[in-house]
Structures are given as structure tokens and as C-alpha cells.
Amino acid sequence: MSTVSKPRGLAGRLVRAFCAVVAALVAVVLASAGWVAYTTAGKVYDVEDAPDAPVAIVLGAQVRDGKPMRFLSGRLDTAIALMAAGKIKAILVSGDADGNSGNEIQAMTDYLIEHGIDPAVIIGDDHGIDTYDTCARAKETFGVERGLIISQTFMYREQ
């Protein structure tokens, strides 16, 4: 018969501490995901189901060579579709104008214009460094009382 011995002494305490930290981190991640799912239930829409709003807020993401990368172009395409469907009247693009990957605001604005959006309905916020700042600034700086926030799921699929 074989036996499995438990680690003893300092090594055993370190293993248990490490396992406890990992378990705590997993619990925090799962609780956060659950909270997001609970609070957004019934508030996440496809373009066809989205309610009308005065403005869509496009959250920034990385650009490369002055062009939006995949996540960002997807967000912008959603804003274009909302505009075409008559669901919004303006688009607030928010991100980091001095980001490591480039000027997100300029890349987003250029993309929207290249895809037929009137520059007069595009508002740029180059201080929306994160989602919280973007939402706070949308309300406090730009007077947005109601809008659609455009992001995406974080599942990656090869297309």
C-alpha cells in the first residue's frame, strides 16, 4: 500500500498559504464576473434590440499604425450600425490621445469618417483613460444624461 505524505513544517505552511491565496483570487474573479452579469442583466443589447439614445459612447482600445485594432474597430462598427439604424444622434469617442499605441481618439474619429459618419456628430474625449473616467466625464464634461456604452465580450474567436 502506498501512502502520500503531507508537506511538513515551513514548506507545508507555504504550500497551504499559496493555495489559500490562489483560492481567494479565484473567488474574487468569480464574484466580480457574477456581479457584472447580475447588474447588467437586461441591459446588454444587440444593435437591433438597443433602445434609442442621444449618444453612443465608444470606449477606447489599442490602435496600431493609426488604425483601430480588432476590438476597437468592432466597437466603432457597432456605433456606425446604431447610427444607420437611427438609434443614436451622436458618437462620443473616448480614450487616450497620448496612449502607448497611438492617439485612440484620432484613430476612432478617422475610422468613423471613413465609414460615412458626419464629423459634426463625433465628439472626442481624449481624457477617458478608463471606463470610470469616460462615464464620469461623459456626464460632467459633456452633459450626457443617457447613452449607450459600446464595448464587447471578451471571448476571442478566430474569424
* Strand ranges, E, within 69-147: 90-94, 122-125
In this prediction, residue 158 carries a pLDDT of 42
* pLDDT per residue as tens, the chain (159 positions): 666 655 568 888 899 999 999 999 999 998 888 887 777 677 788 898 899 999 999 998 889 998 999 989 999 999 999 999 999 999 999 988 877 778 899 999 999 999 999 999 999 998 888 889 999 999 999 999 999 999 876 544 444
Place of cell 490562489: 22
